[in-house]
Amino acid sequence: MSIPIRGSELFVDKFYITTPLYYVNAKLHVGHTYTTVFSDALARYYKACGKKVFFLTGSDEHGQKIFDAAQKQGKTPKALADENVSYFVELWKRMEIGYDKFIRTTDTDHEERVKKILGILWEKGDIYKGRYEAFQCVPCESFWNEGELKDGKCPQCGGPVKHVSEENYFFRMSKYKDIIKEKLIKNPLLIKPEIRYNEIMGKIDGAMDDKSISRSDFDWGIPLPFDEKQVTYVWFDAILNYITALGYPDDMDMFNRFWPADAHVIAKDILWFHTLFWYSILEALGVELPAVYAHGYWLFKGGKMSKRTGSVIDPFELSDKYGVEPLKYFLLSELPEGADTDYSEDRLVEKFNNDLVNTFSNSLHRTMTMFEKYLGGKFAAVAPGEHEEKLKNSFAQASAAYRKHFREFRINMALKDIMDFVRAINGYIQDTEPFKSADNDKARTSTIIYHVLESLRNAAVMLYPVMPGTAGIVLKNLNRPPEGIEFEQELKWGLLDTAAAYKKNEPIFMRLK
């Protein structure tokens, strides 16, 4: 079969973003929630930029780890998967995640497409049979040779490994080492942030041996089309989801419309699989390489927050307690690029009070209160002067920085840009003292309040990708469309209607103890 290749310059109007397919062996925690919420914010941002977005998430259901977990619970692997997939869907509904497709690796069309892809690689001679000797880490679903182990333990998680030796099928990964190295040197932005790019460049030479891609000691997987006694290695099956979900190799229209992915969002734990392993499979298929963004870890009790150690925070509980959007705001503002962060509930409360209550919500509420009190909710006149020009410049700077940071996937910085702008608005109120002119110069008070509200309206527009509900409440209150925001229409100066009548709402957020 010949595989058409996309002509990239035709497709600059699209944005294809994916989360990892989470394993269905257990419930998800704040770490998984972070990745999905981060991806959702990017999807919403690019939608607001006018791009056609396709946002994919899903579940990883085959392999030893799921098989073992199901056995322990006295269930079939499929029953365990069904149960946890319902829970995943419920969690994403709670987090108001607007994905376009949820793929399960047990979906029939995915399984059929994986078989077709295996067939293509087999025909091409990129898969061959051999004896496999390795050390397996079941929780990581990874295999290592002896030299890669650290003190006899899994180099990824430090857990115990078991020796496996069997006849199975290998993928000729080594064949693609040079071309991938060359492509990565030419396109350093394929792997973001830079620290992760450097990590992979440092590993290429030692991490691209041929890899076993089948298992013969259990049967919870996709049978190989050329040897039904073996099943596909879970990572080979799961990683293909990013193209099978777009129809590859059956529906090439959809595939060509969205491939390559603009961001496979993951954490650094699965970086090798999403770069060197995935890239060599794609190279073998003659398919363009996608971009990967790997964030750091949420730490808890001194280590990585992890299902295995049970040191986890439940996102349902947290959102019950603080609300979904404050939780999203906290998660996205807290994890800096390229680093890990300790989870702290005190920090969540502190951020909530400082940013969402004191800075944002109070500023709006105080202004609306003055607006009603001094002007009866109607603008008298709007005559900008020097102070207003300065505020307008702050907006221009803040929105440019915000867009730049979002484009760089530095959402924490983009949120800081918004809060810095709101602090500048509060500084403007302090400097201009609208209450002082209320009695003798209504036009001046009106001008100031207009500019504060116009600034807060723009701040709400910028908050929209992360907190769409909150932004919507503010925008509705200010007589602008509360959803389906497009920056082209809404992120600009001077849109607030001077002729409309406005009413004060309840404060959006109240201080937490």
Q: Does 343 bind ligand ME8 (CB under 6 A)?
A: no
Q: Does 21 bind ligand ME8 (CB under 6 A)?
A: yes
Q: Which residue is nearest to ligand ME8 (CB)?
A: 31
Q: Which is nearer to ligand ME8, 143 or 298 (CB)?
A: 298
Q: Does 157 bind ligand ME8 (CB under 6 A)?
A: no
7-15, 31-39, 399-407, 487-495 -> range binding ligand ME8 (CB under 6 A)? 31-39
83-91, 183-191, 265-273, 499-507 -> range binding ligand ME8 (CB under 6 A)? 265-273
Q: Does 239 bind ligand ME8 (CB under 6 A)?
A: yes
| 8, amino acid identity | S
Question: What is the rounded distance in angstroms from the CA atom of residue 198 to the CA atom of residue 203?
Answer: 9
Question: What is the rounded distance in angstroms from the CA atom of residue 378 to the CA atom of residue 371?
Answer: 8
Question: What is the rounded distance in angstroms from the CA atom of residue 410 to the CA atom of residue 407?
Answer: 8
**53 has which bridge partners?**
15
Q: Which of 23, 277, 322, 329 binds ligand ME8 (CB under 6 A)?
A: 23
Q: Rg of the Cα trace of the chain?
A: 26
Q: Which is nearer to ligand ME8, 144 or 298 (CB)?
A: 298
**52 has which bridge partners?**
14
CB of residue 59 vs ligand ME8: minimum separation in angstroms? 8
Phi-psi region of 359 (alpha: psi -120 to 50; beta: other; left: phi over 0): alpha
Helices (runs of H) and strands (runs of E) counted in the chain: 20, 16
29-37, 380-388, 446-454, 474-482 -> range binding ligand ME8 (CB under 6 A)? 29-37
Instruction: Yes or no: say if 64 and 138 are a contact pair by the CB < 8 Å rule.
Output: yes
18-26, 369-377, 434-442, 478-486 -> range binding ligand ME8 (CB under 6 A)? 18-26
Element of type H or E holding 123: helix 108-124
Q: Does 211 bind ligand ME8 (CB under 6 A)?
A: no
Nearest to 96 by CA among 326, 274, 305, 269: 326
Dihedral in degrees, nearest 10, Cα atoms 368, 374, 379, 381: -140
CB of residue 212 vs ligand ME8: minimum separation in angstroms? 17
Q: Does 106 bind ligand ME8 (CB under 6 A)?
A: no
Q: Does 270 bind ligand ME8 (CB under 6 A)?
A: yes
Q: Which of 16, 17, 35, 222 binds ligand ME8 (CB under 6 A)?
A: 35
Q: Does 266 bind ligand ME8 (CB under 6 A)?
A: yes
Q: Does 298 bind ligand ME8 (CB under 6 A)?
A: yes
Structure token digits, residue 444? 């001046």
How is residue 277 annotated by DSSP?
Answer: I
CB of residue 20 vs ligand ME8: minimum separation in angstroms? 4
CB of residue 295 vs ligand ME8: minimum separation in angstroms? 6
Instruction: Yes or no: say if 210 and 173 are a contact pair by the CB < 8 Å rule.
Output: yes
Q: Which is nearer to ligand ME8, 134 or 157 (CB)?
A: 157
Q: Which is nearer to ligand ME8, 23 or 360 (CB)?
A: 23
Nearest to 263 by CA among 189, 331, 322, 374: 189
Q: Is the peptide bond before 193 cis (omega within 30 degrees of 0)?
A: yes
Calculate ∠ Cα 87-93-99, nearest 5°. Answer: 105
Could you list the beta-strand ranges (E) of 82-217: 101-104, 127-137, 142-144, 162-171, 191-192, 211-212, 214-215
Q: Does 255 bind ligand ME8 (CB under 6 A)?
A: no
Q: How many CB atoms lie within 10 A of CB 251?
A: 14
CB of residue 339 vs ligand ME8: minimum separation in angstroms? 11
**58 has which bridge partners?**
21, 103
CB of residue 505 vs ligand ME8: minimum separation in angstroms? 36
Q: Does 34 bind ligand ME8 (CB under 6 A)?
A: yes
Q: Does 22 bind ligand ME8 (CB under 6 A)?
A: yes
Instruction: Yes or no: say if 156 and 146 are a contact pair by the CB < 8 Å rule.
Output: no
Q: Is the peptide bond before 249 cis (omega within 30 degrees of 0)?
A: yes
190-198, 237-245, 320-328, 493-501 -> range binding ligand ME8 (CB under 6 A)? 237-245
How many residues of this chain bind ligand ME8 (CB under 6 A)?
20
Q: Which is nearer to ligand ME8, 340 or 420 (CB)?
A: 340
Q: Which is nearer to ligand ME8, 156 or 397 (CB)?
A: 156
Q: Which of 68, 100, 210, 269 binds ligand ME8 (CB under 6 A)?
A: 269
Q: Does 267 bind ligand ME8 (CB under 6 A)?
A: yes
Q: Which is nearer to ligand ME8, 22 or 329 (CB)?
A: 22
Nearest to 94 by CA among 266, 355, 311, 317: 317
Q: Does 305 bind ligand ME8 (CB under 6 A)?
A: yes
At a CB cut-off of 8 Å and minimum separation 6, what does 467 contact? 325, 328, 329
Q: Does 20 bind ligand ME8 (CB under 6 A)?
A: yes
Q: Which is nearer to ligand ME8, 269 or 314 (CB)?
A: 269
CB of residue 18 vs ligand ME8: minimum separation in angstroms? 8
Residue ranges binding ligand ME8 (CB under 6 A): 20-23, 31-32, 34-35, 60, 238-239, 241, 266-267, 269-270, 297-298, 304-305
